[in-house]
């Protein structure tokens, strides 16, 4: 996605343009909201920014869309200035051709109450190395999870999790492990043991990428120039 956007911007602005996104997602993961920043020497009016949005969307593939361009502070950074991110994971409980690439199909009943009890053990400021991809180049595995909950809606299960930051593959690993709780293949209490182990092998296999959505990235109000 980054390369495609950079190529489109570079063509329209007639200058090589580098884009910095709010974060990276695995292949197959969806983003309903994602921010990126780029540097531009010349000032653009509101009309010029709206026109650039229009022209960008003519260049970009169908799977990508730019909703708005706005001015931010000179030192603003799309990745490092984010104060929280929220992900959603969708599970369908029956075969649905329309959800083939948008949700993970599990044709069995799951214990949602147990999954939510296990999800509550994730809340707070904790070391999530057990849910991180191995050999990840990060300074710390500490994340502060503010919200984690499963919601049963018709034939769908929707998991929402919000934190100040996420490690690579973290949400998919969390979902895969909580699903094992829902299948009664793992106890609720075992989540604490997994966290304390700091060992990826103690958690379960990651859920497929196509059920995961980045739905919100929040920034301080002061980042935007009004």
- CATH topology agreement for domains 2-79 and 84-216: yes
3-state secondary structure (DSSP) of residue 140: coil
**Which of the four CATH numbers 3.30.70.580, 3.90.1300.10, 3.40.50.10700, 1.10.10.10 does domain 2-79 have?**
3.30.70.580
* Structural domain spans, the chain: 2-79, 84-216
Neighbours of 225 (CB within 10 A): 10
The residues assigned a catalytic role are 26
Label the pairing between strands 84-92 and 104-105: parallel
84 near 162, Cβ under 8 Å?
yes
**For 175, phi and psi rounded to 5 degrees?**
-60, -45
Provide DSSP, 28-79. T-EESS--EE---SS---HHHHHHHHHHHHHHS-TT--------B-TT--TT
Beta carbons of 132 and 200 less than 8 angstroms apart = yes
Q: How far is 33 from 148, CA to CA, in rounded Å? A: 19
Query: The whole model's pTM is what?
Result: 0.92
Residue numbers in the chain where pLDDT is lower than 70:
226
Residue whose C-alpha is closest to residue 212's, from 104, 85, 62, 95: 104
Q: How close are the terminal C-alpha atoms of the chain, in Å?
A: 28
Query: With contact defined as beta carbons under 8 Å apart, do 173 and 206 qualify?
Result: yes
Which residue in the block uniquely carries the two structure tokens 């969307």? Answer: 57
Q: What is the pLDDT of residue 226?
A: 62
- Nearest to residue 214, comparing CAs of 135, 160, 177, 178? 160
Topology at the third CATH level for domain 84-216: Alpha-Beta Plaits (3.30.70)
The pLDDT value recorded for residue 142 is 97
């Amino acid at each position: 996605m980054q390369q495609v956007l950079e190529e489109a911007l570079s063509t329209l602005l007639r200058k090589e343009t580098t884009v910095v996104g709010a974060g990276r997602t695995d292949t197959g993961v969806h983003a309903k909201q994602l921010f990126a920043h780029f540097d531009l020497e010349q000032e653009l009016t509101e009309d010029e920014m709206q026109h650039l949005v229009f022209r960008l969307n003519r260049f970009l593939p169908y799977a990508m869309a730019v909703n708005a361009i706005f001015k931010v502070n000179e030192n603003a950074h799309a990745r490092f200035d984010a104060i929280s991110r929220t992900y959603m994971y969708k599970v369908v409980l029956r075969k649905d051709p329309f959800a083939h690439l948008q949700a993970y199909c599990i044709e069995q009943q799951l214990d949602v109450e147990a999954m939510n009890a296990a999800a509550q053990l994730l809340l707070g400021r904790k070391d999530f190395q057990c849910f991180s991809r191995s050999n990840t180049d990060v300074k710390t595995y500490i994340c502060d999870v503010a919200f984690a909950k499963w919601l049963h809606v018709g034939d769908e299960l929707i998991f929402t999790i919000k934190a100040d930051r996420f490690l690579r593959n973290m949400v998919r690993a969390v979902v895969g492990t909580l699903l094992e709780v829902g299948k009664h293949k793992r106890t609720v209490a075992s989540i604490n043991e997994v966290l304390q182990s700091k060992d990826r092998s103690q958690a379960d296999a990651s859920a497929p990428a196509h059920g995961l959505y980045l739905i919100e990235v929040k920034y301080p109000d002061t980042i935007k120039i009004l």
